[in-house]
Amino acid sequence: MPAARRVLLPSGTMWLLLQSLLLLASCLRSATAFPKGCYPSEEEGLKTFRCSNARLTEIPRDIPNDTNKLYLDSNRIPFLPRDAFRDLPLLLELDLSNNAIAGVETGAFRGLADHLHSLDLSSNRLVSVSKDAFINLKAKVNLSNNPWLCDCRLQELIRTVDLVAGSSGGIVCDTSTQEEHVGKAFLQVIADTDLCNVYKKTTDIAMLVTMFGWFAMVISYLVYYVRQNQEDARRHLEYLKSLPSKQRRSEESSTISTVV
């Protein structure tokens, strides 16, 4: 019996050791699947993936596709490419605040239209974004604290998205097509001015000025052409007058025929 115990005891110890090693390997494999500084968790019953302050320069690829809340805030991401979040069919909240995002490609949020509730793009470097980048998106969007160019394009964008309550005051004109708007809240600007209508009027005036310029050039050329021909004809007649009478009559007949 003691001998049997001596045989079984190492076997049991080896089995426990093997299980521990397998569990450790599984944990290491799961940990190395995510970028450094990123980790999954569960918050209020929702699958959460946090990559805050992870020094990311692009959207990570290995985000679990059952993620409900994704935090990519406080990184160095400069651009959102097409289909950046297409493989996240259960995503409800997306935080991209405090990055270096200066461009959003059309289709960046494709696949999120039906289920995304919240999108935070505050405190980035957005100057101008096409409204098509947010097409069909039903999420509440935060666009505050960006260096916006206040123009018709921004006006169309603001009318397309559903802004987070209280965030509109943070959308301020860093630059503008009209100097007097710089430093003002954008909603205050468009309450008094239709920037798209102003742009259309400016474009129409520019077209009229261009057309008038071309018309003036054509008229000037025609006047010059007629005057030049008249001068040539006058010189030719003076030359004919200086010729002997017989030759002059012949040349005059030729000149008349040519004019006719």
Provide the token pair at 40: 């999954």
Find the helix packing angle between 195-241 and 245-259, rounded to 10°: 160
Cα separation, 195 vs 256, whole angstroms = 63
Lowest mean pLDDT among 6-10, 46-50, 80-84, 173-177: 6-10
Helix H, strand E, coil C: the string for 161-227 is CEECCCCHHHCEEEEECCHHHCCCEHHHHHHHCCHHHHHHHHHHHHHHHHHHHHHHHHHHHHHHHHH
Q: According to the model, what pLDDT value does residue 209 have?
A: 47
- Which distant-in-sequence residues (6+ apart) come within 8 Å of 225 by Cβ? none
Higher pLDDT: 10 or 95? It is 95
- Tokens 């999120």 belong to which residue? 112
CATH code of 33-193, in short, is 3.80.10.10
Q: According to the model, what pLDDT value does residue 229 have?
A: 74
Host H or E run for residue 47: strand 46-50
pLDDT at residue 60 is higher than 90: yes
- Which distant-in-sequence residues (6+ apart) come within 8 Å of 210 by Cβ? none
Higher pLDDT: 119 or 204? It is 119
pLDDT over 90 for what percent of the chain? 58
DSSP, collapsed to helix, strand or coil, labels residue 115 as coil
Q: According to the model, what pLDDT value does residue 34 have?
A: 84
Q: Contact at 8 Å (CB) between 70 and 63?
A: yes
Instruction: Locate the domains of the chain by residue range.
Output: 33-193, 194-231
What tens digit of pLDDT does each residue of 79-138 get? 999 999 999 999 999 999 999 999 999 999 999 998 999 999 999 999 999 999 999 999
Higher pLDDT: 44 or 4? It is 44
